[in-house]
Amino acid sequence: MRRIAVPPRHDWTATAERHGFTFHTMYGAPYWVEDAAYAFTLREIEADLEAPSAELWAMCLEVVRRAVTDDEILASLAIPRDWWDAVAWSWRRRDRDVYARFDLAYGTGGPAKLLECNADTPTSVYEAAFFQWLWLEEARSRGLIPADADQFNTVQEALIDGFASLQPLWGPCAGPLLNRHTLHFASVRDNDEDHGTILYLRDCAHQAGLRTAVIAIEDIGVDATGRLTDLEDRPILALFKLYPWEWLVEEPFGVHLRGPHAPMVVEPAWKMVLSNKGLLVWLWRMFPGHPNLLPAAFAGTPDAATVGPRVAVKPLLSREGANVRLLSPDLPGGVLDEDGPYGAEGFVVQELHPLPVFDGRHHAVVGSWIAAGRACGIGVREDDGPVTKNLSRFVPHMIL
């Protein structure tokens, strides 16, 4: 794994705007970066990232399989008690999921290490699946990178397959969703990144043959029968939400996401088990010593003291590095704290595995994508500090 300088396309900003990538720059700082790229060998991709990601996903599903019959796991993850049955039924019904992303520390020697699993509302998918592939094609054709450069990226194809797998769930008489059913895509109203992600995923659903609509989370209503409705008072029979489950259940309409009139929800309720840093603890308990895992324990338990002197303390429920605390004698003052609103549900302690640092300042994390149940591509994000955050930069990759 190397970070190499690459001439940027002279028109990349216009290209981004033309393709709806409106959040390529956020708050005056670059989010998309293409004056560099991360280069991998084919062996690194296949043996160190793709195969371990597939194995990690299988292990995650084993945790869910155990959790739906083990109240200890559900309680430890701070899943509300009145949602335990919904989580279990979602799994037993085999409710389909579409995608997830592992964040991996890789590039310092040794196997990739799982830092966390983003299984409920993973973003950066448009950048990984579409825009970095467009960069690869144009950079090759313009002679900016070697003509034989490749990329580990079948994310878009896998997303389309994932959405196509939803069609049979409407029953044998429904057929394709073109006529009778609509998949509503929902995100918060005033977030350019989330809205852009929703529009991209909606396009993938169209390519899978689905009929779709877009609605803001704030505009979802409930009719007299307890069915969710859109702004035209149409029932929402299927909902793709780029909105965390732990927030969703607290919405006024949240109670109607379970029960006889509940819509099909993507990602499904069983993803509550995976969209939680407590997953790291249960993976370590169930697969101790696995080469792609780091020791982890719930904070405040006797096991936490065994994790080691260098640790990352993470809230059970948090995003984009918020409220993460790093403890290490290698850090100035021995500690690094990130601000944020999370932590009320508790914390986990995970052995600290520093990210590789390139050119003295670029801390890089590999996002490994799972879609339609298979490992299908990666994206690399980097930050000037050791914690990957909301505005951490996205840098394309290639195989050389």
For every residue of 17-29, DSSP letters joined together read HHTT-TTSEETTE
DSSP assignment string, 354-382: PPPEETTTEEEEEEEEEETTEEEEEEEEE
At residue 167, the pLDDT reads 78
Residues with Cβ within 8 Å of residue 131, at least 6 apart in sequence:
16, 19, 21, 32
C-beta atoms surrounding 129 within 10 Å? 25
At residue 180, the pLDDT reads 57
Residues with Cβ within 8 Å of residue 191, at least 6 apart in sequence:
none
Interatomic CA distance for residues 62 and 103, integer angstroms? 19
Under DSSP, is residue 273 helix (H, G, I), strand (E, B) or coil? helix
At residue 86, the pLDDT reads 95
Residue 124: HSE in the Cβ half-sphere, 13 Å Cα cutoff: 32
- Cis peptide preceding 50, ω within 30 of 0: no
Q: Is 0.85 surpassed by the pTM of this model?
A: yes
Per-residue pLDDT in tens (0 to 9) along the chain, 400 residues: 999 999 999 999 999 999 999 999 988 889 999 999 999 999 999 999 999 999 999 999 999 999 999 999 999 999 999 999 999 999 999 999 999 999 999 999 899 999 999 999 998 999 999 999 999 999 999 999 999 999 999 999 999 999 999 876 654 433 344 445 789 999 999 998 999 999 999 999 999 989 899 999 999 999 999 999 999 999 999 999 999 999 999 999 999 999 888 999 999 999 999 999 999 999 999 999 999 999 999 999 999 999 989 999 999 999 889 999 999 998 889 999 999 999 999 999 999 999 999 999 999 999 999 999 999 999 999 999 999 998 899 999 999 9
Question: For residue 41, what is the DSSP state?
Answer: -
- The three-point CA angle 105-343-394 to 5° equals 35
Would you give the distance in Å from CA 167 to the centre of its chain? 23
